[in-house]
Amino acid sequence: MYFKNRNILVIGGTGTIGKCIVKHLLKENPKVIKIFSRDEYKQQQLKDELGDRKNLRFIIGDVRDYDCLFKAMREVDFVFHLAAMKQVDTCEYNPYEAVKTNVQGTHNVIEAAIDQNVRKVVFTSSDKAISPTNTYGSTKLLGERLISATEYNRTEDQTVFASVRFGNVMGSRGSVIPLFKEQIKKNKRVTVTDKNMTRFMMTLTQATQLTINALKDAKGGEIFVLKMPVINIGDLADILIEETCKKYHIKSKEVVKEVIGLRPGEKMYEELMTVDEARLAWELPDMYVLPGTETRSYRNAKKASTRTYSSMDESPLNRNELRLLLKKAGLI
C-alpha cells in the first residue's frame, strides 16, 4: 500500500473531490491525514460523517496564508492541493480574489512544501486552463505553470510536483447536474446556456483515481490528462428533466427549458490539450501525460497523435449512453 504509515495533507479536503480522496486514503491505513480548509462548518460535517478516527486531523486555514501552510506541512509526505475559487462567474467579477487564491495560494503551497521537505505534491487544474477565455481558466493556467516550473530548479532529493487536468466532475458541488435538478424541483424551469454546448465529463471516482495515480506516478513537472467522454448540454438537460420529473412526480410538460446564452468568459466547448502540447505528450490507455522534460518517457506509453483534444471535435455520448453514465454515477 502506497500510503500506509504516511502523513498526508489534503488542502481543500472538505470539497467534493477532497472528501472522496480522504475516504480512499483511509483504506490504506495512513499514519495521519490532515484535512485543511477554511470552512469550519464543512469540517464539522466531515468529522460527523467519518466518525472519531485517531489518524485524522482537521486544520482551519487558507492557502493565502503561507505560515499556516508551513505549519500544516510539518512531517508531511504527500500533499493533494485541491483548494481553489472555481465558479467561473464569481472569478470573473472578482478577478483579484481568484488570483490570490488560485495563483498566490498555489505559490504558497509550493514554497511551504519545499521548505518542509514534502516528498510529492499534486495540483488539480481544469480544462478551462487551455486557451483560457475567463479569469478562472487563466488562474489555473498560471497555477499549472508554477507547478511545472519547479522541475527546472529541482535538485534530486527535493519535492516532486505534478498537475492533473479535470473536465467537469459529475455531481460536484456547484456543477450543472445538481443545479438543473434543483431548478426542476423548485421552479419547474431549467436555464440552459446553449443546447449545442459540449463539455468533458468525468465521474467523481475517475477524478479521485486520476489524482491519486498522478501523485504515485509523478516524476516531476508532469500534467496528467484523463481521457473522458464528451456530453451535449441539451441532451443532459432533457435526461435530467425526464428522470427528475419521474422521481418527484412532476409533469415534464410543465418544465420550461430556457436558453440564456453564454455567460461572461464561457465557451461553447472545452479543450484538454493543445496541438503544441500533443507534440510532446505520451498516450496511455486511460490518459495522456505531458512530461516535465522532453526526454522523459513512461512505461506502456506511446507518442500521442498531434491534434487538439477538444470537446468540439469528439463525438458526444448518445442519450442512452449518457443516461447509463448518470445512473452508474448515482446521479439519477
In the chain, what's the furthest Cα-to-Cα distance?
63
What residues contact residue 21 under an 8 Å CB cut-off, 6+ apart? 10, 13, 80, 82, 208, 211, 212
* CB of 284 closer than 8 Å to CB of 217: no
Q: Which residues of 92-109 are buried (b: 16+ CB within 10 A; e: fewer)?
A: beebeebbbbbbbbbebb
Query: Do strands 7-11 and 32-37 pair parallel, antiparallel, or not at all (unpaired)?
Result: parallel
**Residue 201 grid coordinates:** 465529463
Catalytic residue among 128, 140, 181, 267: 128
**Residue 199 grid coordinates:** 463539455
DSSP 3-state of 27: coil
- 179 vs 18, 158, 182, 186, CA distance in Å? 20, 43, 5, 11
What residues contact residue 20 under an 8 Å CB cut-off, 6+ apart? 204, 205, 207, 208
What residues contact residue 24 under an 8 Å CB cut-off, 6+ apart? 208, 212
219 carries an active-site annotation: no
DSSP 3-state of 130: coil
Among all residues, which ones are annotated catalytic? 128
